[in-house]
Structure 1
Amino acid sequence: MNQVHLIGGEKGGVGKSVMSRVFAQYCIDRNIPFQGFDSDRSHGSFMRFYQGFAEHVELENFQSLDHLAEAALQGDDGTQVLVDLAAQSSSSLRGWMDDTGVLELFREAGVMVNCWHILDDGRDSLEMLGRLLEDFKTEVRYVIVQNYGRGARFDAFQASPQKLRAQELGAKIIELPRLHEGSMRQVDHSNSSFWAAINASENGDQLLGILDRQRVKVWLRKVYSELDSLGLSRPTRPF
């Protein structure tokens, strides 16, 4: 089944782009066909780290958004369309959906739409999740990501009516483990994919030190275990 993954969270700084990047690397390593779209005009980190796998999409331009729908409708069997959503993008996205009737078109074509909500441990992130669930109800599937890189405790989410409602709607709830801040900084400064950061070298020197490479490898294994629970995996490329 072809699927669309709208990776958002509405607020800035919750880790949407990191989730998009590691999901892209997962698809590469699991031999899953995918097409990426980056809607963030100010940073565009998804495109910067995964050149050749992602292109820009303008949320205010319906014709631009049409390209991501076409990628899902016309892609090879099992194609995953990953969309790194900018902050405060829900109104533009919903306007396009309502104007185009694209959710109905996806249903007819057997394309599954997944709304991802990346959570930090703040109250506003929970409130935005509630609005997402109320907006789409049963029209889409949901993936809720507790990002431990942006919060240490998710007790409020665990006890929240938002979690109960999400479970009623069949949401998948996964974790994005924390990667040591220094290691993530080294990956970002290398301007490379996660695979290149732990394998490639520049002028004979590794992009990351031995321990940073090992930390990233361990982190990727943990994230991949969470993503495996979504049922998308194919044969693994080891790292």
Structure 2
Amino acid sequence: MSSSVKALVSEQEWQVRVDLAACYRIVAHYGWDDLVFTHISARVPGPEHHFLINPYGLLFEEVTASNLVKVDLEGNIVMDTTHNINPAGFTIHSAVHEAREDAQCVMHLHTSAGVALSTLKNGLEAYSQQSLFPLASLAYHDYEGVALNPDEKVRLVADLADKHFMILRNHGLLTCSESVADAFLYMFLLQRACEIQLQAQATGQPLISIPKPILDGIQAQAKQVTRSVGGALAWPGILRKLDRVNPGYDE
């Protein structure tokens, strides 16, 4: 099947498919998946506003470059497939892709640490170096129920604005960026910041926050900070790891 799909798409689209499938696999490797109920999407290169998303019903560890589903912004499947998509996933991802030309990849996860932190009134705190990167470009969106209402798209996009990290209250985490590699690294940092904060708070001991001048300095340079994280630096190593522990994503 992979050879037939590869023959039907551009070289650029195939590369995006490989990277996106790898992203699903590495999320599963870290235990950040939620059975079949969260999503990572990527824009297909070209003038059409088409994007790729996971086949509904497959585990993240089963996603491959060829079984990703290609859809348009209205949710229509635009390439023959035996799979469907999750309508809630389409609502969130299509909103961001439509509003943000730079959002080539959108990740949305329900990790335990992410959901737990999303319930905290004060949200993410400046307790760790890892937290500084999300805090430099962080938005929040209040919970409105399962994301099936198209009207929520307007409010979600307004809340996200030009940020790269989002905490969806009572729901989970979201990152977006110009590449799969960067969106994954942003999620890695946000997830790690959530884990560190929850573990620190669980000690019950007084906590030391990073001084406000340091945080303000990073927030003032938000675009430079988030763009210089360097997802592409870590991505080849991630692909090598997958080749060892869960090969087949590129089929």
One fold, TM greater than 0.5? no
TM-score (norm 1): 0.28
